[in-house]
Each structure stands twice: as structure tokens, then as C-alpha cells.
Structure 1
Amino acid sequence: MKIETLPLAGLAKIIPARLGDRRGYFSEVFKDGWFRENVADVTFVQENESLSATVGTVRGLHFQVDPFAQGKLVRCIAGRIFDVAVDIRVGSPTYGKWYGAELSMENGAQLWIPAGFAHGFATLVPDCIISYKVTESYNAASDRGLLWNDPAIGIVWPLSLDNAVLSDKDRVQPKLVELPLSFIY
């Protein structure tokens, strides 16, 4: 596995090796000891999967606060998405900054997003399946969000999202300036 350090402290892009031949490929997509030694010493307690059928579906930006703050290891197992993390750790030198990467079945890349970041993605093709491991279980009382198109953050989505497919919840999330204190760097 290769690891790429990213411009926002704590984030990491992981690219598992693939061994291929005329039949296809084999890849170790997660190894606990390697992850703990090279990325973060965490325990994953749950794995989630979502299907987004329509191009331009936006999910996020989501996070959970303590005591159920989640780290996420995200990969796209079908389709292509633009995956985004926003630093919401007050006092961080990169507070309010974002990082985005294309994740797809073809590139096999994964994004590690530690607690203290809001996470979301937009689908670039139909029928995207996203699988992600989390370090804490879902907890409705700790569930929070950040507006996906907040101009103060300025995420540059790689497709027009004038008609983004959104949940009702994601349409009304707060802007960064309205976000209650959630994480301290």
C-alpha cells in the first residue's frame, strides 16, 4: 500500500497495490497493523455502504461530535465520486480549508478522514457505491452537518451542481460561520 500525505494535517490518501492478470486483479484494501502503524492508531467499529443512483447526488457535509466523533476510511467500490473533507478544528492552521479527491473502483484510492473534519461527496457517474469504515457507531444525538456549498469554504466541485440531488437535511445545514464549536485543534 502507498500512502500520500495531504495538505490538511491528519488526512491521508491510501492507494492499495493491485496484482492483476487477464482475469482481473487482487488487492489487500485494508490491513489493521499497517493502518495503525502508518496512518492512525484507531479501531474501526462499523462499516457502512451507500448507493447513490443519480449523477450530481451530494451527501454531506457530515460529522459527529464527541463522545461519538468518527474517523472514516472511505472508498468507492462502484462508480466515481469526488470525496471532500473540510477541517472544522478550531485553532487548526487549516481551519475551514478543504481537500477533495476522486475515488473510484478503477483507481482504488481511499481517503482517511479523522475526527474533526466534515465529510461529503458528489457522484460523478450513475450508480455509485461507497463503502466506509468508521471509528464510532452512528449516534443521532451527535450527528451534525455543514452546508455543502458554503461560499466561505469554496469547494470546487468538478461538475455543475445547480440541480444537486440532496436530502432535506443537507439543504439546510449551517454555514461554517454559524457552526457551533465542535472540535479544538
Structure 2
Amino acid sequence: MKISPTQVPGAFQVTPEKLYDNRGHFYEAVRAEVLAEAIGTPFSVAQVNYSVSAKNTLRGIHGTTLPPGQAKLVSCVRGAVLDIVVDLRVGSPTFGHHAVTYQDEESGVAVYLAEGLGHGFLALTDDTCMNYLCSEVYVPGTMIDVDALDPALALPWNLTEPPIRSAKDAAAPTLAEAEARGVLPRYEDCIALHSPVPGTP
């Protein structure tokens, strides 16, 4: 597999190499040691989630407070999506910046996002299914919601009609409002999660 950094530090695109034969194809979606070498830290899975969405559904932007933080490996296992990662880390040199990937069931492309990054996607087909491998279990009250249509973020959804959104997502604050409320993670705290502890090998 090929693991490539995106424009947002801590977010990586994972592109598998497929093996084809008369039955169809096979590929490795992720290999722990290869991913760890690319992202600079081990990634262990504590929870696996799925979402199923109708065409033109817009989910996000969602993140997790620190603590506990939650890294994710996200892939589209059915259908197709426009996937966007947003840097929610206050103090980050790329705070508010985004990285876009197109994911579909044929390509097998996935996106890894470190703690402190936000995620959202637009379903491009009906019955789109997304898979989330999460480093921490969900803890009620720790989700961060940011408006995916925040004009200041100017995310390139390329909408041709109003999207389908949950009431919670539609009422989410802008990035500036979320920062003012003090709910966003700090860049230095996110980086410290994977920094060596002084005095340890």
C-alpha cells in the first residue's frame, strides 16, 4: 500500500495495491507496522463504526475533545464520497486548513487522521457505507461539531442543491465560534500525545 501525507499534518491518504484475477480482486486495507512507520506512531483499534448515507448527505465536521482524543482510519466500503479532513488544533500552523480525498468502493482509498483533526464527507451515491476504525471508544459528551458549511472554512463540497444534514450538524458552530467556546484541542497537547516522556528510552 502507498501512504502519503496530505496538506494537513497528521492526515494521510492510504492507497492499496490490488491483486486481480478471474474471481475479482484482493487487497490489504491496512497493515499495522506499515501504517505506524508512515504516521510515526502505533495505531491500535478500540472501536469500529459504520455509517450508511443517502446520496447528498453531508456528515460533519466531527472531532473529539482532548482528552480522550480519537485517531481514525476512515474508508468508503460501498458507494462514493468526497471526504474532507479539517485541522481543528488551536495553535497548529495549518489551523482551519483542509485536505480532500475522493473515496469509493472500487479504489479502496482510506484516510488516516490523528487526534485533533476533524472529519466530514458528502455522499455521492445512495446507500453509501463508511467504515471507521477508531483508536479510542466513544465517550458521550466528547464530540466536537463544526459547521461543514462555515463560510470561513470554504470547504469545496461543490453542492448543487441543499445537502441532507442532521439537525445537530446544521446547528453546529463555526470554527471561530467553537474556538471561542474553548472546546477545540490545542496543537501542543495533540503533539504531546505521541512525544517520548523525558527519562524514558
Instruction: Give the equivalent residue in structure 2 for 1:175.
Output: 174
TM-score by length of 2: 0.87
Instruction: Give the equivalent residue in structure 2 for 1:50.
Output: 51
User: What percent identity do the matched residue pairs reach?
Assistant: 33
Tell me which amino acid in the other structure corresponds to 2:37.
E
Q: Distance in 1 between matches of 2:8 and 2:30?
A: 22
Instruction: Give the equivalent residue in structure 2 for 1:184.
Output: 186
Is 1:165 aligned to 2:164, yes or no?
yes
Question: How far apart are residue 107 of structure 1 and its match?
Answer: 1.2
Q: Distance in 2 between matches of 1:93 and 1:66?
A: 19
Question: How far apart are residue 42 of structure 1 and its match?
Answer: 2.4
More strand by share: 1
Q: Distance in 2 between matches of 1:63 and 1:45?
A: 16
Instruction: Give the equivalent residue in structure 2 for 1:29.
Output: 29
Structure 2 residues not aligned, in runs of 5+: 188-201
Q: Distance in 2 between matches of 1:83 and 1:4?
A: 15
Secondary structure at 2:50 match in 1: strand
Q: Distance in 1 between matches of 2:134 and 2:173?
A: 23
Instruction: Give the equivalent residue in structure 1 for 2:42.
Output: 41
Question: How far apart are residue 109 of structure 1 and its match?
Answer: 0.5
Tell me which amino acid in the other structure corresponds to 1:94.
T
Q: Distance in 2 between matches of 1:16 and 1:159?
A: 29
May I ask how many residue pairs the two structures share in their alignment? Answer: 183
Secondary structure at 2:17 match in 1: coil
1:128-163 per-position Cα deviation (integer Å, ceiling 9, x unaligned): 010010111111111120001000000011332x32
Q: Distance in 1 between matches of 2:23 and 2:64?
A: 41
Tell me which amino acid in the other structure corresponds to 2:185.
F
Tell me which amino acid in the other structure corresponds to 2:51.
S
Q: Distance in 2 between matches of 1:138 and 1:114?
A: 15
* Alignment map for 1:17-166 (pairs within 5 Å): 17-39=17-39, 40-52=41-53, 54-160=54-160, 162-166=161-165
Q: Distance in 2 between matches of 1:69 and 1:43?
A: 13
Secondary structure at 1:81 match in 2: strand
Q: Which has the higher mean CA deviation after the structures are superposed, 66-75 or 165-174? A: 66-75
TM-score by length of 1: 0.94
Tell me which amino acid in the other structure corresponds to 2:31.
K
Q: Distance in 2 between matches of 1:60 and 1:19?
A: 33
1:89-129 per-position Cα deviation (integer Å, ceiling 9, x unaligned): 11111111111111111111100111111111110111101
CA root-mean-square deviation: 1.2
Tell me which amino acid in the other structure corresponds to 1:48.
N
